[in-house]
């Protein structure tokens, strides 16, 4: 972090200079609304990042300066004195930090504060897009996230958001609440209305703890929020928890709960991808459809628990037999298997062991009676029988009938 401070020291001191100019104007009673607004923004930026450089006191002072400049239209004399005093305190704190950095930077200049880029690339599995108009904050955030395998893309101009978003395709979006020209709240609203991105997890950053701000970000679709200055462990925990929850929800949405196989929607997407690849590569593809006969009658005669147990055993057997193929359960006793690179004859050989295992299964009813189930199977080949998933499914289903 010392190197990061040194990198952005000029910008930090520029913000401090704006506050010092405001303090001088207060002393001469010449503080304009424009200068006051600039000082408020400078204090806001400093409050958002100083804590990340182990200057929590600086964050508290800067936040208080921002609060005074925001809440008091006419500054009384005692408030002016307090404001000038706090600006001086903050200035001294930053000067002390400069001296500390100058004295220690030489000793760590040859050392690496974070893992090497090669090490980072080896573990990165998650992509995060962070939109914040403060380059100091973005620079300080990167060494917090990347050692943990989080590939961070920083964007300091929110107007470029819709250009960058599809390029990054992040797993999670982090937005600052307050930004010029377009706020994080406005960006969140547009993301939630976009069909391609509305499920993207969104985490807000805010320097404000007021209930009104927190309610506002959740109202527009935020999944979580973190108060600035960011504490590394808290942010990492929030990110990992949100991503884990999102993965869990996606898995639940893609799985058929009884069989544990991909549901009709998810397996159809995967099957269509295989057909598309076969078309591009002039390859072959086969779709097998297996239908458990009289499932409804089994449920009526023996109970749904027995029907569910049959479906579970079929699902387990399919997963064991086809570990790399696309398999799915489409409901009503109907299973599908997609086999890339095989013609119809080869696909028949591929599923022969499965059919043998299914024919030898024996189930026990609650009353102790043992029984077997009947089923049908058919295979359709691309492109001979059809060139779309629906046409292949129709051919296979008609053969079953």
CA distance linking residue 246 with residue 216, whole number of Å: 22
Residues 6+ apart with CB under 8 A from 31: 22, 25, 75
Asked if residue 135 and residue 40 are part of one domain, the reply reads no
Q: Are 324 and 269 in contact (CB under 8 A)?
A: no
Asked if residue 125 and residue 99 are part of one domain, the reply reads no
Q: Which is higher by pLDDT, 340 or 252?
A: 340
Tell me, yes or no, whether 259 lies in a domain: no
Boundary-marking domain end, from 107, 134, 155: 107
Q: 335 - beta bridge partners?
A: 290, 329
CA distance linking residue 283 with residue 19, whole number of Å: 68
Asked if residue 281 and residue 237 are part of one domain, the reply reads no
Boundary-marking domain end, from 253, 281, 316: 253
Asked if residue 171 and residue 56 are part of one domain, the reply reads no
CATH code of 239's domain = 3.40.50.2300
Boundary-marking domain end, from 107, 129, 148: 107
Asked if residue 153 and residue 31 are part of one domain, the reply reads no
CA distance linking residue 245 with residue 264, whole number of Å: 23
The pLDDT tens digits of the residues spanning 110-139 come to 333 443 444 334 434 689 999 998 888 888
CA distance linking residue 76 with residue 86, whole number of Å: 15
Least confident of 77-86, 294-303, 370-379: 77-86
Domain that holds residue 234: 117-253
Asked if residue 276 and residue 396 are part of one domain, the reply reads yes
Tell me, yes or no, whether 258 lies in a domain: no
pLDDT band at 54 (very low <50, low <70, confident <90, very high): low
Give how many domains the chain has, as a whole number. Answer: 3
CATH code of 394's domain = 3.30.70.270
Average pLDDT for 84-109: 66
Residues 6+ apart with CB under 8 A from 163: none
Q: Are 385 and 331 in contact (CB under 8 A)?
A: no
Asked if residue 390 and residue 274 are part of one domain, the reply reads yes
Asked if residue 283 and residue 245 are part of one domain, the reply reads no
Asked if residue 311 and residue 247 are part of one domain, the reply reads no
Q: What is the pTM of this model?
A: 0.50
Average pLDDT for 370-381: 96
pLDDT of 350 over the 60 cut: yes
């Amino acid at each position: 972090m010392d190197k990061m401070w040194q990198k952005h020291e000029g910008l930090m001191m520029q913000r401090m200079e704006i506050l010092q100019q405001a303090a001088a104007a207060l002393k001469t009673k010449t503080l304009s609304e424009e200068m006051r607004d600039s000082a408020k923004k400078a204090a806001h930026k400093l409050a958002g990042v100083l804590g990340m450089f182990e200057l929590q006191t600086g964050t508290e002072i800067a936040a208080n300066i921002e609060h005074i400049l925001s809440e008091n239209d006419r500054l009384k004399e005692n408030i002016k004195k307090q404001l000038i005093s706090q600006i001086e305190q903050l200035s001294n704190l930053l000067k002390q930090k400069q001296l500390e950095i100058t004295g220690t930077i030489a000793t760590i200049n040859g050392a690496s504060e974070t893992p090497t880029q090669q090490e980072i690339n080896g573990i990165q599995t998650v992509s995060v897009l962070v939109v914040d108009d403060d380059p100091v904050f973005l620079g300080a955030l990167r060494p917090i996230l990347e050692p943990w395998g989080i590939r961070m893309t920083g964007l300091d101009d929110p107007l470029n958001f819709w250009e960058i978003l599809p390029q990054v395709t992040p797993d999670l979006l982090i937005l600052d609440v307050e930004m010029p020209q377009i706020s994080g709240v406005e960006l969140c609203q547009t993301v939630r209305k976009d069909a391609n991105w509305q499920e993207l997890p969104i985490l807000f950053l805010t320097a404000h703890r007021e209930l009104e701000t927190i309610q506002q970000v959740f109202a527009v679709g935020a999944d979580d929020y973190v108060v600035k200055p960011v504490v590394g462990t808290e942010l990492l925990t929030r990110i990992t928890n949100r991503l884990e929850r999102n993965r869990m929800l996606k898995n639940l949405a893609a799985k058929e709960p009884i069989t544990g196989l991909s549901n009709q929607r998810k397996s159809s997407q995967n099957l269509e991808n295989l057909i598309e690849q076969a078309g591009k590569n002039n390859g072959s593809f086969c779709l097998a459809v297996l239908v458990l006969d009289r499932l409804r009658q089994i449920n009526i005669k023996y109970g749904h628990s027995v029907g569910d147990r049959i479906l579970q055993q079929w699902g387990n057997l399919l997963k064991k037999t086809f570990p790399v193929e696309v398999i799915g359960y489409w409901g009503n006793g109907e299973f599908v298997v997609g086999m890339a690179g095989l013609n119809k004859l080869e696909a028949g050989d591929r599923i022969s062991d499965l059919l043998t295992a299914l024919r030898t299964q024996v189930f026990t009813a609650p009353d102790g009676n043992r029984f077997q189930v009947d089923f049908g199977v058919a295979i359709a080949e691309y492109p001979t029988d059809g060139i779309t998933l629906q046409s292949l499914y129709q051919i296979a289903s008609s053969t079953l009938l």
